[in-house]
Structure 1
Amino acid sequence: MRLPFPKLPILRRSASPRAMIDRYSWFELILIYLGVFVFLFFMLSPFIEGFLVSLKPLAQLFSTPYRFWPENGSFEAYRTMWVRIPYFGLYIFNSLLIATVATVIVLVLVVPAAYAFARFKFRGMALVLGAFLAVSMFSGAVLLIPLFRLMRTLGLLNTYWAMIIPGAAFLIPSAIWLLRTYMMRIPPELHEAAYMDGASEFYTFRRVILPIARPGIIVVAIMTFIGAYAQQFIFALTFNSRTEYMPLPVGLFAFFGRQEVIWNELMAASFVGIAPALVIIFYLQRYLVGGLTAGAVK
């Protein structure tokens, strides 16, 4: 005797799949987009204004009433700035070199240190981390005189190292805190499983922890590079007096005359100077997104 097959309920397809995902009301969406617009406006308006200033003739910048959109705008300032600063390309190269070497030094020291602070417990760890946090609150200007005497004693004045070493030293504490927080989120079971399989501490760190921590390392690398690229002014102005080692922030001082400031060329030089750094950051962000995606599906 054949038993009757029970009838299953017919599942009707939702008329709008988006309604199952999008749970915001129209009023909440308006507030979200309005908040994003206000945030982007305050973030991008200085860059937009600076770019428009670089397109204006110098006489038009001081006209009354002030006009936001340039009249007869041109890229003439992007050409004349190279005449005013013949070593402008060298300044950009020096800034990139100093920031890159400082970033490499910071990563070499910070990655194992952050791993140690995240995985091991030892006496005085809280005190050391607190000291790192306290050091990161000091400005470089406070320690200029001791640093100058140290650089002179080591014979590093008027060299790249006079700007690389202090810059890296001030970036290490914040980088340790940032990467330590990321490594603390890595499951400790991975470390224990590698230990049970007979892996050494160094092998576990190199083959297990580093691939998983790659997104966090790239974030630290980006932030360190930005910090090293931006903080070169005070160290270069104090520890260096040679043109061949001068970074970009000090080179921009050529646009500040005794009676006037060449604002259009200054803005043009600023945009040209940050362009290589932006290219490097966007290039690293691609690997950051790739690392996050790979870690999400493992």
Structure 2
Amino acid sequence: MIDRYRWWEIIGIYAGIFVFLFFMLSPFIEGFLVSLKPLSQLFSTPYSFWPENGSFKAYFTMWESVPGFARYIFNSFLISTIATVIVLLLVVPAAYAFARFSFRGMGLVLAAFLAVSMFSGAVLLIPLFRLMRTLGMLNTYWAMIVPGAAFLIPAAIWLLRTYMMRIPKELNEAAYMDGASQFYTFRRVILPIARPGIIVVAIMTFIGAYSQQFVFALTFNSKTEYMPLPIGLFAYFGKQEVIWNELMAASFVGIAPALILIFFLQRYLVGGLTAGAVKQ
């Protein structure tokens, strides 16, 4: 039987949670308050944390400061969605193979995936640029989709493989005894069970693709119509000043699609992260 917490232990737990949430959420709270302040108030002395005469004006003027900002958001969402679909199409069968079959050199291949995920995309910009130029992908969406998906695949394989290893192998054996092929077992038995884990990988991949587009866009693209959200945010940095309130407003508007996606898929996210925590 689990003992109940004493009163000072409960206070300590809630105090720890409060401190953790404060440091996690304080940058977002400060950024939101900055978006409500007039630009002149941001540099006043002494600095005021709470906005005086705050308004949502920056959320309307931001569209005028950077024309076509909606296109930047659409481009980021499109690039992230396509990259996520490509990653899932490659990662799901690969993770199943690494989780269910044993073959020579499997450990070496997994170690290579782990090593590749440690490299920064900036290290490989020059060879990637030459590759994109050879393939004719410069100044296209694919110049950001292909490298982004390539860097996200190794971590996705490791994450989904760990999830699929928790699925009992007896399910494969039972399906085999009933005459099912490996592909039928994978499609009709394993995939429905692994759906929470696949959704977790999809969310992580989408967020990763949404946040890593700045370097690839600057290097492989020079056309405004293909630029993603980070380039649009960079446009608020002027030669003489930075429009901080509009920059913060644009940041919150830009991350809204990712937040909406996580909101609707959060029950799958929690289910996938906690699956296997208890013995069935």
**Alignment pair present for 1:42 and 2:23:** yes
Tell me what 1:207 maps to: 188
For the residues of structure 2 that align with 1:272 and 1:196, how far apart are their CA atoms? Answer: 54
Q: What is the CA-CA distance between 1:252 and the residue it aligns to?
A: 1.0
**Alignment pair present for 1:155 and 2:143:** no
Rg comparison, structure with higher value: 1
Say whether the 8 Å CA contact 2:80–2:206 is kept in structure 1: yes
Cα–Cα, structure 1 residues 211 and 292, in superposed 2: closer, same or farther, change >3 Å? farther
1:60-99 paired onto structure 2 within 5 Å:
60-99=41-80
Q: What is the CA-CA distance between 1:289 and the residue it aligns to?
A: 5.0
Q: What is the CA-CA distance between 1:31 and the residue it aligns to?
A: 1.3
**Alignment pair present for 1:25 and 2:25:** no
Tell me what 2:203 maps to: 222
What amino acid is aligned across from residue 218 of structure 2 in structure 1? L
For the residues of structure 1 that align with 2:95 and 2:209, how far apart are their CA atoms? Answer: 20
User: Can you list the C-alpha shifts for 1:97-145, whole angstroms capped at 9, x where unaligned?
Assistant: 0000000000000000000001100000000000000000000000000
Tell me what 2:87 maps to: 106
For the residues of structure 2 that align with 1:176 and 1:287, how far apart are their CA atoms? Answer: 19
Tell me what 1:281 maps to: 262
User: Can you list the C-alpha shifts for 1:40-73, whole angstroms capped at 9, x where unaligned?
Assistant: 1011100000000000011110011100000111
Q: What is the CA-CA distance between 1:92 and the residue it aligns to?
A: 0.3
Give structure 1 stretches of 5+ with no counterpart.
1-19
Q: What is the CA-CA distance between 1:253 and the residue it aligns to?
A: 1.4
Tell me what 1:184 maps to: 165
Of all paired residues, the percent bearing the same amino acid is 86
For the residues of structure 2 that align with 1:291 and 1:106, how far apart are their CA atoms? Answer: 18
Tell me what 2:232 maps to: 251
What amino acid is aligned across from residue 76 of structure 2 in structure 1? S
**Alignment pair present for 1:52 and 2:33:** yes
User: Can you list the C-alpha shifts for 1:60-96, whole angstroms capped at 9, x where unaligned?
Assistant: 1001110000011111111111001110000000000
For the residues of structure 2 that align with 1:290 and 1:130, how far apart are their CA atoms? Answer: 28
Partner-residue secondary structure (3-state), 1:202: helix
Match of 1:233 among 208, 214, 218: 214
- Relative to the length of structure 1, the TM-score reads 0.90
Cα–Cα, structure 1 residues 291 and 139, in superposed 2: closer, same or farther, change >3 Å? closer
For the residues of structure 2 that align with 1:117 and 1:39, how far apart are their CA atoms? Answer: 37
Off by >2 Å, runs of 4+ in structure 1 = 286-296
Cα–Cα, structure 1 residues 188 and 242, in superposed 2: closer, same or farther, change >3 Å? same
Give the aligned CA root-mean-square deviation in angstroms.
1.9
For the residues of structure 2 that align with 1:291 and 1:71, how far apart are their CA atoms? Answer: 44
Larger displacement relative to structure 2 (142-151 or 255-264): 255-264
For the residues of structure 1 that align with 2:272 and 2:237, how far apart are their CA atoms? Answer: 44
Cα–Cα, structure 1 residues 291 and 127, in superposed 2: closer, same or farther, change >3 Å? closer
For the residues of structure 2 that align with 1:117 and 1:287, how far apart are their CA atoms? Answer: 23
For the residues of structure 2 that align with 1:186 and 1:115, how far apart are their CA atoms? Answer: 10
Larger displacement relative to structure 2 (278-287 or 99-108): 278-287
Say whether the 8 Å CA contact 2:99–2:164 is kept in structure 1: yes
**Alignment pair present for 1:117 and 2:98:** yes
Cα–Cα, structure 1 residues 287 and 241, in superposed 2: closer, same or farther, change >3 Å? same
For the residues of structure 2 that align with 1:178 and 1:285, how far apart are their CA atoms? Answer: 17
**Alignment pair present for 1:269 and 2:250:** yes
- Relative to the length of structure 2, the TM-score reads 0.96
What amino acid is aligned across from residue 131 of structure 1 in structure 2? A
Q: What is the CA-CA distance between 1:22 and the residue it aligns to?
A: 6.6
Q: What is the CA-CA distance between 1:30 and the residue it aligns to?
A: 1.1
Tell me what 1:8 maps to: none
Partner-residue secondary structure (3-state), 1:112: helix
For the residues of structure 1 that align with 2:267 and 2:169, how far apart are their CA atoms? Answer: 28
Kindly tell me the number of residue pairs found equivalent between the two proteins: 279
For the residues of structure 2 that align with 1:86 and 1:46, how far apart are their CA atoms? Answer: 27
Give structure 2 stretches of 5+ with no counterpart.
none
